[in-house]
Amino acid sequence: MKIDKNLIKELSEYLDEFKLTEIEFTDKDTKIKVSKNNVSINNQATPNVQNSSVVREDPVEQNKSTSGIQVTSPIIGTAYHAPEPGAKKFVEIGKKIKKGDTVMIVEAMKTMNHVPSTADGVVKEICVEDGQPVEFGQTIIILE
């Protein structure tokens, strides 16, 4: 079997582009899994290659307030703000919601999974863009 280095490089670039920790590609009898380690950067002997992910972080992202009730994604998939393109969004900043209300849909393997609110509150922040990939446990909205 010949290893396609370009495919591996492309998958590695997707890890950074979509802020993923792991990606898998399967085609017929070929299966390629690419993942990256999350390394704590407390040691000055750590190579600069490991520091590259920290340097690229957006300073605005670091300053965002995470106080409040965080509603997280229950699965890995693609987040959608509305039930279909052009439809009214489930939540908007400032909207009051109740526990159990759908706040977003996370699509995984062609299945649309409604994500319910875990508490009553007012939407303080929407943490993901429409159509953005999300990871398990990633905060998708914050409530006050």
Look up the CATH number of the domain holding residue 117: 2.40.50.100
Specify the pLDDT at position 91: 92
Instruction: For residue 39, give every residue at least 6 positions away whose Cβ sits within 8 Å of its Cβ, in sequence order, or none.
Output: 46, 50
Residue 78 structural domain: 67-143
Q: Locate 106 and state its tokens.
A: 């996370």
Do 89 and 116 sit in the same domain of this protein? Answer: yes
Instruction: For residue 94, give every residue at least 6 positions away whose Cβ sits within 8 Å of its Cβ, in sequence order, or none.
Output: 122, 123
Last-in-domain residue among 29, 45, 60: 60
Do 79 and 44 sit in the same domain of this protein? Answer: no
Do 54 and 80 sit in the same domain of this protein? Answer: no
Do 137 and 87 sit in the same domain of this protein? Answer: yes
The torsion of the CA quartet 45, 48, 52, 53, rounded to 10 degrees, works out to -20
Specify the pLDDT at position 124: 93
pLDDT band at 9 (very low <50, low <70, confident <90, very high): confident
- Say if pTM beats, i.e. exceeds, 0.85: no
Do 35 and 73 sit in the same domain of this protein? Answer: no
pLDDT tens-digit map of 75-105: 999 999 998 888 999 999 999 999 999 999 9
State the average pLDDT over residues 102-117.
90
Do 52 and 79 sit in the same domain of this protein? Answer: no
129 vs 34: which has the higher pLDDT: 129
94 vs 23: which has the higher pLDDT: 94
Q: Locate 104 and state its tokens.
A: 């977003």
State the average pLDDT over residues 47-74.
52
pLDDT band at 53 (very low <50, low <70, confident <90, very high): very low
Do 82 and 139 sit in the same domain of this protein? Answer: yes
State the average pLDDT over residues 15-38.
76
Specify the pLDDT at position 37: 63
Do 38 and 102 sit in the same domain of this protein? Answer: no
Per the structure, the count of domains in the chain is 2
